[in-house]
Amino acid sequence: MIESEVEPEHDLSEQLELFREGHPVHQVTSSGMEWDFLVGGSGDQTVLLMPGLGGKAEDLFTLMAALEDEFRVVSVGLPDDFSHVPDLNHALALILDDQRIREVCLLGHSLGGMFAECFMLQFPERVDGMILANMAHPGTFREIVLRAVLGIAPFLPRDWINKQLAYGFRRLLLGSPDEEFWAPFLADGPLLLNKAAFDSRIDSILDVLPRYPTKLLDIDAWRRRVLILESDNDIAFTPVERNALRELYPQAVSHVFLEAGHLSPYTQPDEFAAVVRSFLGQY
C-alpha cells in the first residue's frame, strides 16, 4: 500500500487522542438529562458548535482545534434520551451561564444548523451571529416524505438501518483522503445507540421540523451576522430549498465549496476552517 494512503487516518487518530487529552468532558444537568460539553481556546468571541445527527461533543474536533487559538469554542453533545428541542435550548443556555458566556456565534452543520436556528428564536439576545453549513429547509412535499420515512424507521430492522447509515456516510465521504477515519467515526454516533436512544434521536429530528423559521416575520427581531456555507454537489437539499434559506437572511454572506458534498467540514476541513475564521475576524 502506498504510504500516503494511510497517513491521513493515522494523523487524525493521533489528533483525536491529543484532542481528548486536552479537552476533558464537562457536564451539566438540565431537563433531567446529563449534557456533555467541551471547552477550549480563549478570545473576545465565543463560537458554540451545535450538535448534529452524530450527537457527540467531539464530532467537530478538528474544527474546534483549528479555531481555539483565536476564539473561545464550546461544543455540545446530545444525551441518549434527548428528543425535544426546547430541552436542548435550555441546556445550551445553562452551559453558557456555567461558563459565564453572555453571547455566542452559533455554528451548526446540517441538522445542527436547524438546532441553531431554534436556539436563536428562543434566546435571540444570546446569539450574536450564526454560521449555517450544508443545510436548508425542506419544502412542504419533502417534509411530508421525511416525516413518513422517519415515522416508520423505529419499526424497521435495526441491522438494515445501520447498513444504510454506514453506506450513507461512506457515500457522502467518497473521494475524501480521510474517508477511512471519518466514516466509522461519524457513523458510530447513531449506530451505537440502543433502540430507545435511536428512537429518541429520530423524535428530535421530527421535533425540529415545525420549529425552525420559515419566513422573515419569524426572525424580524434578530438581524445579526450570518454566514451560509454551501457545497456545489450537496445532495441533501435542492437548490430551491437552499435558496429559501438564503432569502430568510438577506444580511448573510455566503461561500460555496467547489467539488464538495454534504460533509464539507470533513472533506474540506482547511477551507472550511479558513472561511469561518475569516468571517469571525470581520467582527
Q: How high is the pLDDT of residue 31?
A: 96
Q: How confident is the model at residue 181 (pLDDT cuts 50, 70, 90)?
A: very high
pLDDT of 5 higher than 70: no
Report pLDDT for 174.
77
Unique residue bearing C-alpha cell 438494515: 160
Average pLDDT over every residue of 257-266: 94
* pLDDT for residue 18 is more than 90: yes
Tell me the pTM: 0.92
Greatest C-alpha distance within the chain: 57
Give me the mean pLDDT over the 15-26 stretch.
Answer: 97
Question: Does residue 237 carry a pLDDT above 80?
Answer: yes
Q: Are 27 and 99 in contact (CB under 8 A)?
A: no
Does the pLDDT of residue 41 top 50, yes or no?
A: yes
**What 8-state DSSP symbol labels residue 33?**
E
Q: What is the pLDDT of residue 9?
A: 46
Is the pLDDT reported for residue 3 higher than 50?
no
Q: Assess whether pLDDT exceeds 70 at residue 24.
A: yes
In this prediction, residues 251-262 reach a mean pLDDT of 94
Cβ-in-10-Å burial (0-12, 13-18, 19+) of 246 comes to middle
Angle separating helix axes 140-152 and 195-208, nearest 10 degrees: 160
Q: To the nearest whole number, what is the mean pLDDT of the chain?
A: 91
Is the pLDDT confidence value at 67 over 50?
Answer: yes
d(CA 167, CA 183): 9
Judge whether residue 6 has pLDDT over 60. Answer: no
Residue 78 binned pLDDT confidence (cut-offs 50, 70, 90): very high
Is the Cβ–Cβ distance between 97 and 40 less than 8 Å?
A: no
User: In the prediction, which pLDDT does 10 show?
Assistant: 52
SS3 of 178, please? Answer: coil
In sequence order, the 6+-apart residues with CB closer than 8 A to the CB of 17 are none
> Quick check: 47 and 73 in contact, CB under 8 A?
yes
